Chain A
Amino acid sequence: MTEASAKIVATEMRSDAREGMTYLESVPMRLVTLWLPLGLIMLILLFPFYWMVLTSVKPNAQLIDMNTYNPFWVVNPTLDHIKRLLFETAYPLWLWNTMYVAFAATMLSIFASVLAAYAIVRLRFRGAQMIGASIFMAYLIPPSILFIPLASVIHFYGLFDSPLALILVYPTILIPFSTWLLMGYFKTIPFELEECALIDGASRWQILTKIVLPLAIPGLISAFIFSFTLCWNEFIYALTLISSVQNRTVPVAIVSELVDGDVYRWGSLMAGAMLGSLPLVILYAFFVEHYVSAMTGAVKE
């Protein structure tokens, strides 16, 4: 009984802390200071997506005639734009390229980051701190200053215009970030667990695969989701290092292949933008918490 009452007190205290000082605010006050600005900001943040989806199902006639039809709505929505995109352009191929490059690059960089993060946090070799700091510095080197020399390096390695070039180059963006994130996760795993395993005669590899990784799964998912999104979003390397149409990724292909002088291009452009973002939004919807913790974790460390 005492336990139960203690629990009730605890929940009451928690709800009290959660509500904070909201009881000091009146309803109209809250409406003006909270809901109005929040609603306005959300409206602006979401409008481009609404517009994107709306345009992609609007018949051409309604797209350019804004007087007969209300442009904010659609009558007789059509799938023509999406159909044209999927069957008359190489869009499915571009989508496949993006997915395959993003997946391969993410897997490679997670493999490299797990090893590096474990070594920096737990092996504590000579110079570990310095290497950790320099990996963080690598995160601050933007692709915009690297793409020209990288193009000649890729030429030199003979990888130009091959998806392999992107798969090997993207990890340079992802490794610094995921290593930093995983270092944070590995630090939270009690060292005693590893000591026990070491005394029982486990090798470092066994410790890593059997003890550390299973405990760091949330961190791995965060790193995976975030890296995958970054790859999907990457533009400048994909633009510079890939030259043939069938090897392009979605972001580059939309800008350089779908944009022609046609007035009627908007429907399929918006359909392309929508289909290109949809996989990421779905992935994000399932792993919001991991995504947020990846983003804030990397900044907080």
Chain B
Amino acid sequence: MKLSLEEIRKVALLSRLELEEAELERQTKNINDLLARFEALQALDVTGIEPTSHSIPLFNVMREDETTPSLSREETLSNAPEQLDGYFIVPRIVEGI
């Protein structure tokens, strides 16, 4: 299995990474080198084997719905690249309003 430059371009878009041509080419080579290592997996018979997502069993954790101290609005916004009147500033997403 080998990914083309075009396929990597699409993966980069899905990953929200704007890559220059030279970097796209370099990443295509590196990713294909790694994908070649994955081929052995395809030959393995895994019929009937349950997948493991975590090495320990996980359960939903419930607690009483009680108010506990949490970060203030000021602390929450303290690292924001752009903020105004207690809000995070983001680019306009919906046009015409």
Do the two chains bind?
no
**Which residues of A approach B to under 8 Å, CB–CB?**
none
